[in-house]
Amino acid sequence: MSDNMKNGASRRTILRWLFAAAFVVATILSGLFSGLMNKAGLFYLAFGSVAVALMGSSGREIGAAFRFAAGRPGQVMERRRAAHFWEAAARNAWILGVLGSTLNFTIVLGRESGGIEDTGNRMIQAFIVSLYGLVLAVICLVPALKLMNGIAGTGGPVPPPASGNSEVFPDRSAAIGRVIGYILFAAVLGSTLYALTKGRPQSGVLSVGKVMLHGPAILVTAGGTIALALFLSAGARGLTFGFAMTGFISLLMGFIQALFGFMHRSINDIVTAIAFIISASSFSLLGMLVIAAPLEDREVMEGRRERPSSLSRMFWIVYPLLAFIFLVLTFLMVITPMKQKVGG
């Protein structure tokens, strides 16, 4: 391919992205979807995605992924790593979106409000962050799929991971990048919580922390994940499996407890079950996002594995979806009033 042809392809790709960005900006400015605007959610998702990307990939790998997405040619292994970066970015956006909804939901429930209508509106607003996450995931999947198709189109067997290549082994700059990623994520989370709670009487980040820290949910998520990861001895994949399965079991456990609460007309059972569902889904999603997924990303980027396991990929898609469904069920359980017992 000549230099002119390469430059032309890059220019066309950049033009396509610019056109798409202009379309998105115009849609936002038109006000057609003003009801779907959640500034804190947008901030959290955009900067949270950057932070989580830094946890799993080095700055050099991120730069290369952007260059390949812009149509730059390269070796199969490099293109494969770039495709994995975009797939991981899509996964991060999806998990971040659902986690954002869960955290927003917790904040709405945990703070003072003017009335029941206001609380209901804010609970519905919390779901918008998941929508943002899904849209961003779809955007990130486009370059991932294009790069995958490009690799498949080259024909012949794909070479095994280049384990001997010095570029794919961890270096000091990657470790610094990861630390920056974790610090940035903590800052994004803290500032989002502050933005959502500021100006509310008898509220604030500390009281939100108290609301979020539901002891039993933390114990079950941590204990279950560590136990499963130890018994599996599968490294990062074991952690992904542990967080997802513990989270799913916790969701079901809480849901069944809530159903019993409705049957026995016990508000105490219902509210503790709802708190358990919300907290367990938050902690399992958080663990999956900031512990398990970056470790799996490092395994791929460093050439220790060719690709993430199919089971992990399934959990990354299905578990946040389940958490979202249970969040909707939780919303319904909160707004469903208990009926008086017949003759009671």
Which C-beta is closer to other proteins: that of 119 or that of 191?
119
Taking the complex as a whole, the smallest distance from the CB of residue 193 to other proteins amounts, in Å, to 14
d(CA 221, CA 243): 7
Residue 224 touches other proteins, criterion: CB under 8 A? yes
CA distances, 12 to each of 67, 274, 303 (Å): 13, 50, 32
Shortest distance in whole angstroms from residue 131 CB to other proteins: 24
Is residue 213 involved in binding other proteins (CB under 8 A)?
yes
Q: Kindly state the smallest distance separating residue 196's Cβ from other proteins, in Å.
A: 15
- Rounded to whole angstroms, how far apart are CA atoms 20 and 235? 39
**Nearer Cβ to other proteins (28/167):** 167
Work out whether 196 is an interface residue with other proteins (CB under 8 A).
no
Residue 21 or 338: which CB sits closer to other proteins? Answer: 338
| Residue among 4, 34, 202, 310 that touches other proteins (CB under 8 A) | 202
Residues in binding contact with other proteins, number by CB under 8 A: 59
C-alpha–C-alpha distance, residues 166 and 103, integer Å? 41
- What's the CA dihedral at 118, 324, 330, 292 to 10 degrees? -110
Give the Cα separation of 83 and 270 in Å (integer): 44
Minimum separation from the CB atom of position 161 to other proteins (A): 12
Q: Which one of 73-81, 103-111, 149-157, 287-295 is the stretch in contact with other proteins (CB under 8 A)?
A: 103-111
CA 6 from centroid of its chain's CA atoms: 35
**Residue with Cβ nearer other proteins (191 or 207):** 207
- Tokens standing for residue 159: 């070479």
The Cβ-side half-sphere exposure at 300, using a 13 Å CA radius, reads 26
Q: Is 211 in the site for other proteins (CB under 8 A)?
A: yes
Span 237-256, contacts to other proteins by CB under 8 A: 253-254
Which residue number, 143 or 254, has a Cβ lying nearer to other proteins? Answer: 254
Of the candidate spans 12-20, 80-88, 160-168, 315-323, the one that interacts with other proteins by CB under 8 A turns out to be 160-168
- 50's CB contacts (< 8 A; 6+ apart) are 184
The least distance separating other proteins from the CB of residue 112, rounded to whole angstroms, comes to: 6
Selected from 31, 155, 157, 164, the binder of other proteins by CB under 8 A is 164
Q: How far is the CB of 320 from other proteins (least distance, A)?
A: 21
Distance, in Å, from the CA atom of 205 to the CA atom of 26, rounded to the nearest integer, reads: 35
Among 3, 29, 30, 114, binds other proteins (CB under 8 A): 114
Closer to other proteins by Cβ: residue 14 or 219 = 219
Return the ∠ at Cα 150 (arms to 145 and 151), rounded to 5°. Answer: 100
* 171 is an interface residue for other proteins by CB under 8 A: no
The answer to whether the CB of 88 falls within 8 A of the CB of 57 is: yes
Taking alpha carbons only, the member of 63, 51, 53, 36 closest to residue 135 is 36
Q: What is the Rg, in whole angstroms, of the alpha carbon atoms belonging to the chain?
A: 22
Contact in structure between 224 and 245 (CB atoms under 8 Å): yes
Q: How far apart are alpha carbons 237 and 109 in whole angstroms? A: 34
Query: Which residue from 82, 220, 286, 323 is in contact with other proteins, where contact means CB under 8 A?
Result: 220
**In the complex with other proteins, which residue's Cβ is closer, 137 or 278?**
278
| Exposed/middle/buried for residue 15 (C-beta within 10 Å: 0-12, 13-18, 19+) | exposed
Binding site for other proteins (CB under 8 A): 106, 109-116, 119, 163-166, 169, 202, 207, 210-224, 226-227, 230-231, 253-254, 257, 265-272, 274-276, 278-279, 334-335, 337-338, 340-341, 344
